[in-house]
Amino acid sequence: MSSSLSTRLKYVSLGVLVVQTTSLVLTMRYSRTLKEDGPRYLASSAVVSAELLKILACTLLVFREHNFSVRALNQVLKEEIVNKPMETMKLAVPAGIYTLQNNLLYVALSNLDAATYQVTYQLKILTTALFSVTMLGKRLGCNQWLSLLILMAGVALVQWPAESADASQQTSLSAGFQFVGLMAVLTACFSSGFAGVYFEKILKETKQSVWVRNIQLGLFGFVFGLIGMLMYDGQRVRESGMFQGYNKITFTVVVLQALGGLVIAAVIKYADNILKGFATSLSIIMSTLISYFLLEDFNPTSVFFTGAVLVIAATFLYSLECKSATSSIKV
């Protein structure tokens, strides 16, 4: 692939990630505020549906890569997935970690207020950088480390709660719960950094198509997700089915989540996990501003604007150094 094409793919995939993350946040927020009759959809079922949709979409992409030949598709899936069990098994590691991570985040959200959770989870920007340096041999200059610290501080400020809400939420959570929540979110920061960089290492060190790799990841994600659904919501699934409470908004959330899996894979392939952090940070600012103008459920404070300026400044600072850093990447 020519370098200009891969540069274009890098910025297109980062741009699509910003739009996808922003739409997912807004749709999820909308689906939570929507008052519906009947049972609510099961979150564990939405995870399984998204994995299934991701596998289907990736299979279609592999089909397209092979000029829509059914025979070639069968051959690739058989050769790359069935006949190479050790290669396929490699993907069980990030899939298992992501499943654990989703559960840890659930524990974190049950024991911490949403703002503390979101602010603390930004530490994953630094763990991702640390794993990129240790596992991929990526080298970052002083300016880039500084820009990552500024980015983390900026996102933390953007998500800093308004004083009154914070005080009332803080007192309702005991120190013990806070500690459990904090441990869960800190572990999730490490698992997010490790799983992302591990997937990047697999993608960049082997020749297999990113979509085949994503099918392998999705297969394990689907199996682990199914086990999770049966463990947490088995009774309710047996009573009212897996798709209880699904509506148009649920389908939109599932589609956006599956699309997220595809876009994240493309971003990791054509850019990297560190740039993915910048894209998601920018989308946090975008979704907050859109929800202010459209949903009118947020009042931006001076702390928010300071944070937004820091995130944007960090993005520029990082990309200033990008050229020299890219040339020193070993992978």
Among 48, 57, 152, 265, binds ligand C5P (CB under 6 A): 265
Q: Packing angle between helix 142-158 and helix 124-136, nearest 10 degrees?
A: 150
Q: Please report how close the Cβ of residue 297 comes to ligand C5P at its closest, in angstroms.
A: 24
- Measuring CA to CA, which residue among 231, 208, 215, 213 is closest to residue 52? 215
27: exposed, middle or buried (C-beta count within 10 Å: 0-12, 13-18, 19+)?
middle
Least distance CB 238 / ligand C5P (angstroms) = 26
Closest approach, Cβ 316 to ligand C5P, in A, equals 22
Q: How far is the CB of 11 from ligand C5P (least distance, A)?
A: 19
Stretch that binds ligand C5P, among 85-93, 247-255, 261-269, 296-304 (CB under 6 A): 261-269
Nearer to ligand C5P, 131 or 199 (CB): 199
Q: And the tokens for 59? A: 């299979």
Find tokens 């996990």 and name the residue.
Answer: 273
DSSP code string of 133-193: HHHH-----HHHHHHHHHHHHHHHHHTPPPHHHHHHHHHHS-HHHHHHHHHHHHHHHHHHH
Q: How far apart are CA 317 and CA 95, in angstroms?
A: 33
> For ligand C5P, what does the binding mask look like between residues 211 and 250, x meaning CB under 6 A?
---x--x---------------------------------
Please pick, from the candidates 190, 194, 199, 270, the single residue that binds ligand C5P as defined by CB under 6 A.
199
Stretch that binds ligand C5P, among 69-77, 108-116, 139-147, 257-265 (CB under 6 A): 257-265
The answer to whether residue 98 forms part of the interface with ligand C5P (CB under 6 A) is yes
Check if the beta carbon of residue 269 is closer than 8 Å to that of residue 210.
yes
The verdict on 279 binding ligand C5P (CB under 6 A) reads no
Q: In what helix (H) or strand (E) does residue 271 lie, and over which residues does it extend?
A: none
* Positions that interact with ligand C5P (CB under 6 A): 98, 102, 192, 196, 199, 214, 217, 261, 264-265
